[in-house]
Chains A and B, each alone.
Chain A
Amino acid sequence: MSEVRVFEGRAIVIDQNNVDTDVLYPGAFLNIPDPELMKNHLFEGLDPTLRDQLVGDTVLVVGENFGMGSSREHVPQAMKAAGIQCVVGKSFARIFERNCVNLGLMIMTAPQAAGAANPGDMVRIDARASTVQVGDATFDARPLPAFMLEMIELGGLVPWARRRVAS
């Protein structure tokens, strides 16, 4: 039985659709293998000043087809290292979404919540109830398949694999 985790933080809002991996983390920095150093280049091609909002626990709120393009895991690795607790969006590109799940970074498809959030709003995710709370308003999210929810709550594919090795 995995632990029920709370995912919450202040909203950082990227109000655009089809944001690609290259603006989130440009190719020139892909020779950096350490997540603590990766985070210095997060959002570099999009808006480096977004990094100023990465204080304490944050929730990244995004538009449609977020994270399209490359399979580079540097994007969610850097997000996680920078204290982002969850990504809430209208929809996600497939490799980005599974990279988040594999790293234990909560990712919720919740179009209404994503449309409602303003920068700095408190965002709270109840993954088991499939709801996203933005300030005082609560919105429905697309339920995560049990397999993905369990992997995120466990902390990602590495702990999932360790459990598999142990059994």
Chain B
Amino acid sequence: MGLTLAEKILLAHTDAEEIQPGEIVMVACDLVMANDISGSVAFREMARMGVTRVFDRSKVLMVADHFMPAKDVKSAELQRILKDWSGEQGVKFYDQGRGGIEHAVMVEDGWVVPGDVVAGGDSHTCTHGALGAFATGLGSTDIAACLAFGEFWQSVPGTIKVDFSGEKQPFVSGKDLILAVIAQIGVGGGTNHVLEFVGDGAAALSIDERLAVANLAVEAGSETGIFPADEVTREYLDGRATRDWVPQRSDPDARFARELDIELGSLGPLIAMPHSPGNVVSLDDAKGIPIDQAYIGNCSNGTMTDLRQAAQVFEGRKVHDRCRVIIVPASVKIYREALAEGLVDTFLEAGAIVSTPTCGACFGGGMGVLAAGEKAVATTNRNFKGRMGSPEAEVHLANSWVAAAAAVAGEIVDPAEVLGSVVA
């Protein structure tokens, strides 16, 4: 019996000679990451374990990105702990202004290569599946054990094969592909499973789009979402990653728990309605919903690809009077690239604000949360009740074209209509 890509990666990181779905194994980490929220609790638990030094300081990184810049004294203290601990341990620390949002920084600085096992103290660690890694989100005590011993316990997941075929339609992005998957299997449909994205439609996606797809794998309950590494991956990692890697795929006779076929030719932009990423409707069914705030950015959709899509809409147009716009480039490098390309000026001219890279309002931490009764469109990954501020606010998840178009129109609208209108 052949193995799936996830099984191959896990097998290569255990002492076992074979593994079966459902079996619990200890998995070795190539990389362990935490942030200003998960870090301090993990450090305390590691100390309680009786361990004083990390297992391998070259395989550990810390990123201050959640309550960053510190919104209050408590948050500032968490960042101080992260910085001091990183200094004591001699591990890489991305401080304010030095990196950005953890998952964006890890990818662009070449920390992750295909075949890696990545343990992250953040549920969206699954993002790194875009590069062909088994990357998974863990809680702080799990991360403590990873820091101490370089491994975590894992029930071997089954794999759900997702076959994207055909060509994407206009104004459809990676966000819509993964929302289509969640719509089919539900928010718990991927539990104890990995999503593996294959097919010509998957192969045609850029790394930015793959990041958007993999990022929401956890919203289907999945351990992670993986793209087999290919030439697109190699081209992206050349000049970034220094570690060697070999491309791997699932065996032809690998056993999949389930197979989904998603035909891209018939897929239009999608919206996840309040209050669940699984509450997915077509753009047509959401048109006309008034919007008070558009939030474009975060770890799923704060890439250059997203900012260019948004700028295409904002170029020569103004944000609607009823709407506020926050643009959040996912990293300092992306911020500077957007600045160099003139995108930041386009956003400011339109009436948007451009935030420092931060998790900020995406998780309700600060930097632009919502008031009761407000409706937002966001390119983020979660629209749970109260996620972005007031429990009486409503968040609609969408791609960057749709979010920008809604900001211009003051309501959810087809981006084609906005782009077809005369530029002032």
Q: How far is the CA of A91 from the CA of B187 in the complex (A)?
A: 12
Q: Which of B1-39 contact A (CB under 8 A)?
A: 24, 37-38
Known: A45-B386, A95-B123. A161 touches B24 (CB 8 A): no
Cβ-based interface call for B75 (8 A): yes
Closest residue of chain A to B142 (Cβ to Cβ) is A102
Does the CB pair B137–A95 fall under 8 Å? yes
Known: A73-B139, A157-B142, A158-B45. A27 touches B365 (CB 8 A): yes
Q: Is chain B's binding surface mostly helix, strand, loop or mixed? A: loop
Q: Which of B156-197 contact A (CB under 8 A)?
A: 187-188, 191-192
**9-residue interface stretch from A6-14, A15-23, A111-119, A120-128:** A15-23
Does the CB pair B149–A164 fall under 8 Å? yes
Does the CB pair A157–B221 fall under 8 Å? no
- Report how many residues on chain A are interfacial, defined by Cβ distance under 8 Å: 43
Q: How far is the CA of A55 from the CA of B218 in the complex (A)?
A: 34
Known: A95-B123, A102-B139. A27 touches B363 (CB 8 A): yes
Q: How far is the CA of A65 from the CA of B188 in the complex (A)?
A: 6
Cβ-based interface call for B44 (8 A): yes
Does the CB pair B138–A98 fall under 8 Å? yes
Question: 1/0 per residue B131-169: CB within 8 Å of A?
Answer: 000000111111011001100010100000000000000
Cβ-based interface call for A68 (8 A): yes
Chain B residues lying within 8 Å of A156, measured Cβ to Cβ, are 141
B6 to chain A minimum Cβ distance, whole angstroms, is 14
Does the CB pair A45–B385 fall under 8 Å? yes
- Report how many residues on chain B are interfacial, defined by Cβ distance under 8 Å: 53
Cβ-based interface call for B391 (8 A): yes
Known: A33-B40, A45-B391, A65-B221. A71 touches B137 (CB 8 A): yes
Known: A18-B276, A71-B121, A93-B191. A31 touches B141 (CB 8 A): no
Cβ-based interface call for B243 (8 A): no
Does the CB pair A28–B364 fall under 8 Å? yes
A43 to chain B minimum Cβ distance, whole angstroms, is 12
Does the CB pair A27–B191 fall under 8 Å? no
Known: A161-B50, A165-B50. A33 touches B391 (CB 8 A): no
Cβ-based interface call for A54 (8 A): no
Known: A18-B188, A23-B386. A99 touches B139 (CB 8 A): yes
Chain A residues lying within 8 Å of B149, measured Cβ to Cβ, are 161, 164
B61 to chain A minimum Cβ distance, whole angstroms, is 17
Residues of B within 8 A of A (CB): 24, 37-38, 40-41, 44-45, 48-51, 66-67, 71-72, 74-75, 78, 121-123, 137-142, 144-145, 148-149, 153, 155, 187-188, 191-192, 218-219, 221, 223, 276, 278, 363-365, 369, 382, 384-387, 391
Residues of A within 8 A of B (CB): 18, 20-23, 26-28, 30-33, 45, 64-65, 68-73, 76-77, 91, 93-95, 98-99, 102-103, 145, 147-148, 151, 156-158, 161-162, 164-166
Further contacts, 11 of them, CB under 8 A, given A22-B363, A98-B153: A18-B278, A22-B364, A32-B74, A71-B122, A72-B37, A98-B138, A145-B155, A151-B153, A157-B144, A158-B49, A161-B50
